[in-house]
A and B are shown apart, each in its own frame.
Chain A
Amino acid sequence: MDRRTILEELKKVLYPYTENKELLQHITDDTNLVKDLKINSANLVDIIIDAEAKYNIEIDFDSAEKIITVGNCIDAIAEKIK
């Protein structure tokens, strides 16, 4: 699965946690989940859990700690499903 496909899927995962849904149309690898999308930082845990369920993967503590941007998120998922 290429990064573009993961990005499109990731938008669906982020949707319930993003207040301004329009922002999701324009996200890139550099989009900061907390600063740009205004996602509650505690909800990053829920996003990881939802992504795990969606891809049937397990993201460990070290990978989770690095998730700050959309790109980091795609990296964590891509690493597990390759």
Chain B
Amino acid sequence: MMYQYILDLLPYKSSFRFVDEISYLDKDRVVGHYTLKEDAFFYEDHFPGNPVTPGAILTEIMAQIGLVVLGIYLVVGPEDAARPEAGDNPAFPLFTSVEVSFDQMVLPGQKITVISQKEYFRFGKLKCRVEMQDAAGNRIAKGVFSGIIKTISK
């Protein structure tokens, strides 16, 4: 799979990992995909009998693809030039700010695409314009996301 080495560096586990696939990645832009699991932990209670993906989870999906995937790439570099020790130092992302608006609901099982365009990456802070789209390319959400990527030395 393309960019598997970046997916392997994501610090999230099972129920809180919201990146399935990266289809495009360079130093200014990332396109990633995720399919909402029908049995995700939040559907049972949000809402009982009427499962809808929480806006907080949509925001998290946008942040994981739009900031964390791109941020890790900016820190470790392209695969052929990636620092060999990168895998030993897990990324520790800190979400610092977001302003996001939602146009549509996302239901269990739906596949979404996140497109993120870098505004800047300076002094460790990454700021991006991020958009989420449904399978037909219609906008689900858009926003401005910022975060800091730190790496922890083992």
Binding site for B on A (CB under 8 A): 40, 42-43, 45-46, 48-49, 61, 64
Choose among A40, A48, A49 the residue that contacts B97 (Cβ–Cβ < 8 A): A40
Nearest CB to that of B120 among chain A residues?
A49
Q: Is the CB of A45 within 8 A of B97?
A: no
Q: Is the CB of A48 within 8 A of B123?
A: yes
Q: Is the CB of B120 within 8 A of A42?
A: no
Q: Is the CB of A61 within 8 A of B123?
A: yes
Q: Pick 13 A–B contacts, CB within 8 A, sort by A.
A: A40-B96, A42-B96, A42-B97, A42-B125, A42-B146, A43-B97, A45-B122, A45-B124, A48-B122, A48-B123, A49-B120, A49-B122, A64-B123
Residues of chain A within 8 A of B96, CB atoms compared:
40, 42
Q: Which range contains the number of B residues in contact with the other chain?
A: 10 to 19
Residues of chain A within 8 A of B97, CB atoms compared:
40, 42-43
SS of B interface (majority): strand
Residues of chain B within 8 A of A45, CB atoms compared:
122-125
Q: A42-B97, A42-B146, A45-B124 are in contact. List 13 more A-B contacts (CB 8 A).
A: A40-B97, A42-B96, A42-B125, A42-B148, A43-B97, A45-B123, A45-B125, A46-B127, A48-B122, A48-B123, A49-B122, A61-B123, A64-B123
What's the Cα separation between A45 and B96 when bound, in Å?
12
**CB of B51, distance to nearest CB on chain A (Å):** 34
Nearest CB to that of A42 among chain B residues?
B96
What's the Cα separation between A45 and B148 when bound, in Å?
11
Residues of chain B within 8 A of A43, CB atoms compared:
97
**CB of B8, distance to nearest CB on chain A (Å):** 27
Residues of chain A within 8 A of B124, CB atoms compared:
45
Residues of chain A within 8 A of B146, CB atoms compared:
42
Residues of chain A within 8 A of B125, CB atoms compared:
42, 45
